[in-house]
Amino acid sequence: MSAQLHSSPTTLTPVKVRAPGKINVHLGVGTAGDDGYHELATVFQALNLNETLTLVPGGSASIVVGGRYADAEVPQDESNFARKAINLLISALEDERDVDVLRDLDIVIDKQVPVAGGMGGGSADAAAALCGGAHLIGGVDESILHDCAVAVGADVAFLLHGGTAIGHGRGEKLTPVLTRGSFHWVMATSARQLSTPAIYSRFDELTPDPEPAVVPADVLAALAAGDPDILATAAANDLTDAAISAMPELAEVMEAGRDAGALLPLLSGSGPTIGFLARDAHHALELAVLLQATRGVKEALRTTGPAPGAHVIDHL
């Protein structure tokens, strides 16, 4: 696993870490448990749209957000996912080892994953922070990193690993999935945002007695074969109707993508970003050009998956 590092002991050298965004290639939603969370059966795929964090020891515990998707809505206080992840790592380890190097970290975030679009940008920040924090203190047991990741958010644990994986529970119980080759996606973002809790509440209204959440065998077969045409016939997102009921223009964007030749329009997470599956890089370019001119689309971003999980890229 890329986040479990065995480097030198505690270091004051800044470290740069990269972590991917994601798409839910399939999202099956079951009933809500006593804790209010729905039982999920999802297939995550990490995408080559990355967040890059620089962790600088000996700072003033500041957070600086820059990059293409720097946004005033990205918190720069203790509620920031990267800061939460570091604080959880400190709490998990401070009774047994020296973690002082983590206490006053400056965190510089280069945001290249769209904000609040269902692509896991904040979760990628948390995964990168955990990976970088582990490096700074000379390595951390994988089980501790996993527990810290889940405490921040259900998909953070996946973004530590990357690749393609089935997620059960809230998405935190992971099983790697064999995937051949690369899948080409065009991610169509929206100028508007959707509330994840509101979308799940709407799902409950529309589907009061859902079937148990499962991952169809054909989805796994398509991934193993590297076959986008088969994947297009098998993958789905059970939150699609709920998202469209909250943002009807999503249906128009999906239809525009189909008309443009997309193999599959697929809501990413709880939306509002829609991933359009393409046959290859040339097809993805054609789709991106057409979708960029579509009403309701803020940006059409070409990317591929699977991608690596959180990993150190530089020792500054």
Mark the binding-site residues for ATP, compressed into ranges: 114-124
**Residue stretches of the annotated binding site:** 114-124
CA 146 to chain centre: 15
| Catalytic pick among 110, 125, 155, 238 | 155
* Pair 20, 226: CB distance under 8 Å: no
List the alpha helices (DSSP H) in 97-248.
Answer: 121-136, 142-152, 156-161, 196-206, 217-225, 228-234, 240-246
Q: Is 155 a catalytic residue?
A: yes
In the chain, the N- to C-terminal Cα span, in Å, equals 22
| Residue 194, both tokens | 């959707």
Determine the Cα–Cα distance for residues 5 and 146; give it in Å rounded to an integer.
14
Helix, coil or strand: residue 13: coil
Give the active site residue among 22, 84, 125, 238.
22
Residue 52 makes CB contacts below 8 A (sequence gap 6+) with 16, 17, 18, 67, 109, 110, 112, 128, 313
With beta carbons less than 8 A apart as the criterion, state whether 27 and 237 touch: yes
Determine the Cα–Cα distance for residues 88 and 148; give it in Å rounded to an integer: 6
Report how far residue 80's alpha carbon sits from residue 186's, in angstroms, rounded to the nearest whole number: 28
Q: Parallel, antiparallel, or unpaired: how do β-strands 15-32 and 264-267 relate?
A: unpaired
Q: Which residues are catalytic?
A: 22, 155
